[in-house]
Structure 1
Amino acid sequence: MAQQSSSAKPMPMLKDELDIVIPTIRNLDFLEMWRPFFEQYHLIIVQDGDPSKTIKVPEGFDYELYNRNDINRILGPKASCISFKDSACRCFGYLVSKKKYIYTIDDDCFVAKDPSGKDINVIEQHIKSLLTPSTPNFFNTLYDPYRDGADFVRGYPFSMREGCKTAVSHGLWLNIPDYDAPTQLVKPLERNSRYVDAVMTIPKGTLFSMCGMNLAFDRELIGPAMYFGLMGHGQPIGGYDDMWAGWCAKVICDHMGWGVKTGLPYVYHKKASNRFENLKREYNGIFWQEEAIPFFESVTLPKECTSVQQCYLELAKLVKEKLGKVDPYFIKLADGMVTWSEAWDELNTTP
């Protein structure tokens, strides 16, 4: 493990610049384990399911809690773009946040330990990743060259060493991996105990499967593209919310010249969902992803798109034109993307 030099400056913890967004259907007792790391931050809790149910939050946390009634009240007719009975509802928290950065975590994720037995401070590592540049245009075989104890390898162009802004920090999971339902069914006892002490920039032009259970991003940069789609109740698909946002965000980051990092930090994942139910939710997506991935791989956004919102609306138009032929659901999803963009502007435009 690379040692931090004694001259290194301590990492700012961004107490007033970061919100933690948590989607949930249950009491948040899991926060007790996270108290040493989360208590100094503001929490935005998005309650899914029955809005009349009372969700208990441990004392001592600074939080806002929104249920479906609040979503309908705040967004009015635009509330139709926020999923119901699916963790995709978390993106409502991104809408109402006023902070520069977002960290989002699932309520079945717990504090993991590094190989030395020390509790992993996920916020600290995500902040490190977001505050240091990315290298999407030329792969550094020592992974993140900005980390203490690493640098650019021989042959890395000096003209590229300043890197670019990091928009997304994608963390990983120990214990239960983020597998799709068919893989869960054939490997029900599979567990991930492998801790890889590395962060890497995902290369430009390469897609990835983004998981929302341990994720941080620069809301001011890429927030308008972090829409988790129409999933769950009333929709023919679930479980693809975070991946859809990741595909959209990666295409836009590539266009805007920003980076996406994946690797550290780890959480300990105790899956709360049922793999048979997951198969029902993901069934259509398993087929549709074979069309969606080539679509995103082929997308070229016009140079006239100079903002995330412009890119996102162009992407929505292309989704309707190209993927609408695969299934009418994608026409509805494209409309949801437009509604989301309008809601973002409505809640985040300074008068």
Structure 2
Amino acid sequence: MSTPATQVVPPLKDELDIVIPTIRNLDFLEMWRPFFQPYHLIIVQDGDPTKVIKVPEGFDYELYNRNDINRILGPKASCISFKDSACRCFGFMMSKKKYIYTIDDDCFVAKDPSGKDINALAQHIHNLLSPSTPLFFNTLYDPFREGADFVRGYPFSMREGVPTAVSHGLWLNIPDYDAPTQLVKPRERNTRYVDAVLTIPKGTLFPMCGMNLGFDRELIGPAMYFGLMGDGQPIGRYDDMWAGWCTKVICDHLGLGVKTGLPYIWHSKASNPFVNLKKEYKGIYWQEDIIPFFQSVSLPKDCTTVQKCYIELSKLVKEKLGPIDPYFQKLSEAMVTWIEAWDEINSPTKLEALSLDGKKDASASNKK
């Protein structure tokens, strides 16, 4: 009598949500089905809430539109961007899981140099479950990867590393360029598959891209606020970068790590560079002040939680960046509102109320 094959349980199946912002039917999930179907999806519908978004059969998901955001957050809904992929952070807030993976709906499964499909989610999970080394750079990159270790001269006292809060993945095909670079290099494609993961050193900022991103929600979730972008705002396409700058400063302060590199996804669609330039042009000027600001931020020792760090950061944004443009005053206030909404939504009483409400309201929770 043959022994039945042991079913392989997907890693972190009950501990991870996949968050997807979208304005269209999610046909792209068909390609991801082998990797995503075991997991719970949180879909944040941007734009017109009356539009029906179709999700392929067989996925477990909940779908939120703007009406749901307004209903759940009330006046605090003002902190969630409209007509911008920054709305994805509402999904981060609504998740009840320890880990988040977020991906854009124009991203597909990439292939490694051998032609094998890349399970991006599995690589993010591996990154998040292994320590980071932000205090001392290892020249073999990630020492916790199979076939690698700490090199000679690496202090033994630092080899334990620190918890990894963020796993930043990359993209093949369409590069994540700003509008001026898009205009200069319209046909450029990223074909380089670099088989590496490394920890971004402490004190070093990076331009975080939200289209292929994993993070530990319990460690850093409240800092993953994608700002005020899109409709009614003077800037767009800086949402993920803003979250990345805030997150990195807070990770450095709290002794957490950020990894970048593998996994790759296939970015299929180049956005219009002229539209992008209109969204970005203020940010292109402002970033010359924003970057030095974040490089000089020093958070007080009594900021021992992500929330405390973020509130302190909001005060500094108002004080240091507010004089540049009134937008930063507004952004500072939205940062505070975001933390208040996060804490309210994730309070035990609110979680219970939302759970009961979700069972009654099929529009906010579409289970398939």
Scaled by the length of structure 2, the TM-score of the pair is: 0.92
Deviation at 1:349, TM superposition (A): 2.2
Asked if the contact 2:180–2:277 (Cα under 8 Å) also holds between the matched residues in 1, the reply is yes
Match of 2:283 among 282, 285, 309: 285
Question: Quick check: 1:184 aligned with 2:182?
Answer: yes
Encode CA deviations 1:139-165: one digit per residue, 9 max, x unaligned.
000000000100001110000000000
Asked if the contact 1:201–1:262 (Cα under 8 Å) also holds between the matched residues in 2, the reply is yes
Structure 2: tracts of 5 or more residues without a match: 1-7, 350-368
Q: Name the residue aligned to 1:41.
A: 39
Q: Name the residue aligned to 1:193.
A: 191
Q: Name the residue aligned to 2:366.
A: none
Q: Secondary structure at the match of 2:322?
A: helix
Deviation at 1:113, TM superposition (A): 0.2
Q: Name the residue aligned to 2:66.
A: 68
Q: Name the residue aligned to 1:96.
A: 94
Asked if the contact 2:237–2:279 (Cα under 8 Å) also holds between the matched residues in 1, the reply is yes
Deviation at 1:348, TM superposition (A): 1.0
Match of 1:318 among 307, 316, 319: 316
The 5 A counterparts of 1:322-337 are 322-337=320-335
Which letter maps to 1:269? H
Asked if the contact 2:171–2:267 (Cα under 8 Å) also holds between the matched residues in 1, the reply is yes
Q: Secondary structure at the match of 2:310?
A: helix
Please report the RMSD computed on the Cα atoms of aligned residues, expressed in angstroms. 1.0
Q: Name the residue aligned to 2:352.
A: none
Q: Distance in 2 between matches of 1:350 and 1:185?
A: 49
Structure 1: tracts of 5 or more residues without a match: 1-9
The 5 A counterparts of 1:236-315 are 236-271=234-269, 273-315=271-313
Encode CA deviations 1:34-87: one digit per residue, 9 max, x unaligned.
000000000000000000101110000000010000000000000000000000
Q: Distance in 2 between matches of 1:19 and 1:210?
A: 20
Q: Name the residue aligned to 1:85.
A: 83
Deviation at 1:290, TM superposition (A): 0.3
Q: Which runs of 4+ in 1 moved over 3 A?
A: none
Q: Distance in 1 between matches of 2:137 and 2:212?
A: 24
Deviation at 1:245, TM superposition (A): 0.2
Q: Name the residue aligned to 1:6.
A: none
The 5 A counterparts of 1:213-252 are 213-252=211-250
Asked if the contact 1:11–1:128 (Cα under 8 Å) also holds between the matched residues in 2, the reply is no
Which letter maps to 1:27? N
Q: Distance in 1 between matches of 2:72 and 2:197?
A: 38
Q: Distance in 2 between matches of 1:183 and 1:33?
A: 30
Match of 1:138 among 136, 139, 149: 136
Deviation at 1:350, TM superposition (A): 2.5
Q: Distance in 1 between matches of 2:348 and 2:53?
A: 32
Q: How many residues align?
A: 342
Q: Distance in 1 between matches of 2:79 and 2:272?
A: 26
Deviation at 1:12, TM superposition (A): 6.3
Asked if the contact 2:238–2:283 (Cα under 8 Å) also holds between the matched residues in 1, the reply is yes
Q: Distance in 2 between matches of 1:11 and 1:73?
A: 36
Q: Secondary structure at the match of 2:62?
A: strand
Which letter maps to 2:154? Y
Question: Percent identity among equivalent residues?
Answer: 83
Q: Distance in 2 between matches of 1:192 and 1:104?
A: 21
Scaled by the length of structure 1, the TM-score of the pair is: 0.96
Encode CA deviations 1:103-143: one digit per residue, 9 max, x unaligned.
00000000000001000001100000000000000000000
Asked if the contact 2:134–2:199 (Cα under 8 Å) also holds between the matched residues in 1, the reply is yes
Q: Distance in 1 between matches of 2:68 and 2:80?
A: 12
Encode CA deviations 1:207-230: one digit per residue, 9 max, x unaligned.
000000000000000000000000
Q: Secondary structure at the match of 2:260?
A: strand
Q: Secondary structure at the match of 2:50?
A: coil
Q: Distance in 2 between matches of 1:189 and 1:245?
A: 29
Encode CA deviations 1:214-269: one digit per residue, 9 max, x unaligned.
00000000000000000000000000000000000000000000000000000000
Q: Distance in 1 between matches of 2:258 and 2:12?
A: 20
Which letter maps to 1:102? I
CA pair 153-336 structure 1, distance change in 2 beyond 3 A: same
Asked if the contact 1:11–1:124 (Cα under 8 Å) also holds between the matched residues in 2, the reply is no
Deviation at 1:274, TM superposition (A): 1.4
Question: Quick check: 1:209 aligned with 2:207?
Answer: yes
Asked if the contact 2:16–2:98 (Cα under 8 Å) also holds between the matched residues in 1, the reply is yes
Q: Distance in 1 between matches of 2:72 and 2:348?
A: 17
CA pair 60-86 structure 1, distance change in 2 beyond 3 A: same
Asked if the contact 1:205–1:251 (Cα under 8 Å) also holds between the matched residues in 2, the reply is yes
CA pair 169-158 structure 1, distance change in 2 beyond 3 A: same
Asked if the contact 1:301–1:314 (Cα under 8 Å) also holds between the matched residues in 2, the reply is yes
Q: Name the residue aligned to 2:4.
A: none
Q: Secondary structure at the match of 1:325?
A: coil
Q: Distance in 2 between matches of 1:275 and 1:57?
A: 29
Q: Distance in 1 between matches of 2:113 and 2:305?
A: 42
